[in-house]
Amino acid sequence: MLTRSNIPTAKRIVIKVGTSTLSHSTGKLNFQRIENLVRELADLANQGKEIILVTSGAVSAGMDRLGLKEKPKTIPEKQAAAAVGQGILLHTYEKIFGEYGQIVAQVLLTREDSVNRKRYANSRNTLLTLLSMGVIPIINENDAVAVDELKIGDNDTLSAMVASIVDADVLIILSDVEGVFTANPQSDPTAALIPEISDITPELEDLAGGPGSMRGTGGMYTKIQAAKIAVNSGVVMVIASGFRDGVVREVLSGSNVGTLFLSKESRLHIRKRWLAFGARIRGSVVVDKGCEQAIVTTGSSLLPAGITEVDGEFEQGSTIRVLNSEGREIARGVVNYGSDDVRKIAGVRTQDIIEKLGSKLYDEVIHRDNMVVLV
């Protein structure tokens, strides 16, 4: 497992850079900062590292070219700005990376590429092939075609999903903040940087606020959610300031910068990784303390007797969340019964399922082979 001390051994690295890092307060691209970042990444590639860049900034670049003063509010306007901006952004990266002898490839993803298992596998194969050819993939969400139900949501989540898909060693999220603090550093002068996080608790999630800047969409909350995906996929994640020159080099040298999230010791199998983070979530169930302990400590299946609440409408074969009595997500899995039937059998013993439903297809609401434990 990677820690600060052995992070220099990391081979495959995903770097996510946000709009606020790439642009001036005017909204125009900050070419000096882009060039500094590209030079760092090109140097890492020359060392034999495999680099994937997940970049924001397409909408902002499009706004500048179109002369828009405010961020578009409608989906068609956002998509138009993104369509213009993606070309500008890629051309900028391609030109600067080319000056340092690196080949880049644009990869645009939508949620459909992660929720459809075949497309998930195809995305993985494409990215791994590009890396094997010495190409640096530059990834963004396909804002020009994605509508809300197809959007991944933000590039923090996208970068974590990419890191999961390609079995990355490290995910570095460059932000407009130094890392995770004990309180909001903008309003609390006593706030201290948390250098290392080994467990993403509900208390930690409560520390996360809303969006961090006017032009970006990913606040600290989305970064914590990204960390959940990364660490459960066996990927170490670091949040650091994108305003620091040489910050990527510092992180990968093992310097004590930013906040490091330690990964779980074992990587999830590719199928379970898709199940946990690729599949669309359709609902949730709440379980009692005994059921929680059985799932978390022994990897037991979810039986109806332990269920206390059912939320949402879902069908047999849907992926749902399993929450404990405090509302913390402890697992995800493919459910054997629809929501109506789960409500009928919640809290009953396995042998009583037939009495409640008239028949019994399965003993388990979620079989352990189709469930991923997240704590």
Binding residues: 16, 56, 143, 155, 175-176, 217-223
Using the predicted structure, report yes or no on whether residue 2 has a pLDDT greater than 50. Answer: yes
Reading the block at residue 39, the tokens are: 């030079």
Residue 271 pLDDT level (bands cut at 50, 70, 90): low
Cβ–Cβ under 8 Å, residues 150 and 110: yes
Whole-structure pTM value? 0.81
pLDDT for position 214 = 38
Residue 109 pLDDT level (bands cut at 50, 70, 90): confident
Residue 213 pLDDT level (bands cut at 50, 70, 90): very low
First to last CA, the chain: 17
* Rounded (5°) CA angle 203-204-205: 90
309 has which bridge partners?
Answer: 286
- For 46-60, 191-205, 272-286, which range has the lowest pLDDT when averaged over its residues? 272-286
pLDDT for position 153 = 52
Which backbone phi and psi does 283 adopt, to 5 degrees? 180, -165
pLDDT for position 266 = 65
Domains of the chain from N-terminus onward: 7-264 (3.40.1160.10), 271-373 (2.30.130.10)
Binding residues for substrate: 56, 143, 155
pLDDT tens profile 293-338? 999 999 999 999 999 999 999 999 899 999 999 998 999 999 999 9
Cβ-defined contacts of 336-343 (< 8 Å, 24+) = 336/361, 336/362, 336/364, 336/365, 336/366, 336/367, 337/361, 337/362, 337/365, 338/314, 339/283, 339/310, 339/312, 339/313, 339/314, 339/315, 342/285, 342/304, 342/307, 342/310, 343/310
pLDDT for position 59 = 85
CA–CA gap between residue 315 and residue 334 (Å, rounded): 10
Using the predicted structure, report yes or no on whether residue 341 has a pLDDT greater than 90. Answer: yes
Using the predicted structure, report yes or no on whether residue 55 has a pLDDT greater than 90. Answer: yes
Three-state SS at 339 = helix
- Closest Cα partner for 284 from 245, 318, 237? 318
CA–CA gap between residue 160 and residue 233 (Å, rounded): 9
Reading the block at residue 180, the tokens are: 């995770």
Cβ–Cβ under 8 Å, residues 247 and 240: yes
Strand order from edge to edge, sheet including 319-323: 307-311, 281-287, 319-323, 329-334, 371-373
- Closest Cα partner for 167 from 127, 107, 113, 122? 127
Question: What average pLDDT score do residues 162-179 get?
Answer: 92
Binding residues for ATP: 16, 175-176, 217-223
Residue 269 pLDDT level (bands cut at 50, 70, 90): low
pLDDT tens profile 241-263? 999 989 999 999 999 999 999 98
Question: What average pLDDT score do residues 114-143 get?
Answer: 85
Residue 19 pLDDT level (bands cut at 50, 70, 90): confident
DSSP per-residue string spanning 117-152? HHHHHHHHHHHHHHHHTT-EEEEEE-TTT--GGG--
CA–CA gap between residue 289 and residue 293 (Å, rounded): 6
Task: Compare 202 and 294 and report the one with higher pLDDT.
Answer: 294
